[in-house]
Amino acid sequence: MPMNDMSESVSPAGVLPMLILRVLHSGSLHGYAIAQRIHVLSSEVLAVEEGLLYPTLQKMLRKGWVSAEWGISETNRKVRFYHLTPTGRAQLASELSGYGRVTQAIQEILRTA
């Protein structure tokens, strides 16, 4: 996956599931397309490595946040397409709310400390 030298791994810890859920909110994608979409939407700042992406997707499958089915990619390869489930939509709302509170608290500390 072509990532420039300025790309950073997704951080802080725990934000990757939220980003995956948000990207899948727009429609089904296979793993490589999820990573590419995050990279592009972050103005090529964030990079999602395979070694982190696929274990995270497996955890999300086990939790019922996403479902998956096999299909053929645009390059004619057999890939798994991931779909957001109703449970995943609820989890996304929860994660966005929590992230907003944490971000606001961090910003407050940065302004006042």
| 10 touches 58 (CB < 8 A) | no
Helix ranges (DSSP H) in 1-113: 15-25, 31-41, 50-63, 86-112
Residue 71 CB partners (closer than 8 Å, separation 6+): 30, 78, 79, 80, 81
Q: pTM score, two decimals?
A: 0.84
- Options 2.40.128.630, 1.20.1300.10, 1.10.10.10, 1.10.760.10; which CATH number does 8-112 get? 1.10.10.10
Q: Look at 42-46, 57-61, 66-70, 80-84 and tell me which has the smallest mean pLDDT.
A: 42-46
Determine the average pLDDT of the residues in 47-65.
95
Mean pLDDT of 35-39: 96
Residue with tokens 């964030």: 46
Domain boundaries, the chain: 8-112
